């Protein structure tokens, strides 16, 4: 594991903003959003990492920015990696990993649906849980909704 971490740090250098080894087989990296896709691809293909199983991808809103969380697992080595990155709230765009890991396809759609994050390169970025004509992104911290009086539409966002 240590050797693998050193190799990754050597490869990406400055783009890895911080990292911690939480347990002997779990390490967390915070990377810059520019290298998001390269790091994920590296982790999948590098022989020391071989993270072939995309466990989870999600977004959360701190009020100032959006943070992404990607958890990967390797079926070869049984180690876990969590990747964090921050993107801006006004222009939430980031590279899509759907073509690398088909398993995050629906997760990215859900994050677009709930937060409005645009995943560039996603084959089918449209709403997944909410109706297709829903306006607004409900999980954002500044989302305000009032009852609309229509039982089928539910609460609608107030601009």
Shortest gap between Cβ of 129 and other proteins (angstroms)? Answer: 4
64/26 Cα distance (integer angstroms): 28
> Contact region for other proteins (CB under 8 A) — 5-13, 32-40, 53-61, 87-95?
53-61
132/148 Cα distance (integer angstroms): 18
CA distances from 135 to 10, 79, 88, 106, 130 (A): 44, 40, 20, 20, 10
Which is closer to other proteins, CB of 79 or CB of 95?
79
Which helix (DSSP H) or strand (DSSP E) does residue 139 occupy? none
Q: Enter the DSSP assignment of 117.
A: -
Shortest gap between Cβ of 40 and other proteins (angstroms)? Answer: 13
C-alpha R_g of the chain: 18
Task: Say whether 111 sits in a helix, a strand or coil.
Answer: helix
Residues 12-41 as x/- pattern, contact with other proteins by CB under 8 A: ------------------------------
Q: Calculate ∠ Cα 65-30-92, nearest 5°.
A: 30
Which is closer to other proteins, CB of 6 or CB of 133?
133
Shortest gap between Cβ of 62 and other proteins (angstroms)? Answer: 7
Asked if residue 103 binds other proteins (CB under 8 A), the reply is: yes
Scan for tokens 């500044």, then name that residue: 142
Asked if residue 116 binds other proteins (CB under 8 A), the reply is: no
Tell me which residues in 59-78 interact with other proteins (CB under 8 A): 60-62, 69, 71, 75, 78
- Residues contributing to the site for other proteins (CB under 8 A): 52-56, 58, 60-62, 69, 71, 75, 78, 82, 101-106, 127-131, 138-139
């Amino acid at each position: 594991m240590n050797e693998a971490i050193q190799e990754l740090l050597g490869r990406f250098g400055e783009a890895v903003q911080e990292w911690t080894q939480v347990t002997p087989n779990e390490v967390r990296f915070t990377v810059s959003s520019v290298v998001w896709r390269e790091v994920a691809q590296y982790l999948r293909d590098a022989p020391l990492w071989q993270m072939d199983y995309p466990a989870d991808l999600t977004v959360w809103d701190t009020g100032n920015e959006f943070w992404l969380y990607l958890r990967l697992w390797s079926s070869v080595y049984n180690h876990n990696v969590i990747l964090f990155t921050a993107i801006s709230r006004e222009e939430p765009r980031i590279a899509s990993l759907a073509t690398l890991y088909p398993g995050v396809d629906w997760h990215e759609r859900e994050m677009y649906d709930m937060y409005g994050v645009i995943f560039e390169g996603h084959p089918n970025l449209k709403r997944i849980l909410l109706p297709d004509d829903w306006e607004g992104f409900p999980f954002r911290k500044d989302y305000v909704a009032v009852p609309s009086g229509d039982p089928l539409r539910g609460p609608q966002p107030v601009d």
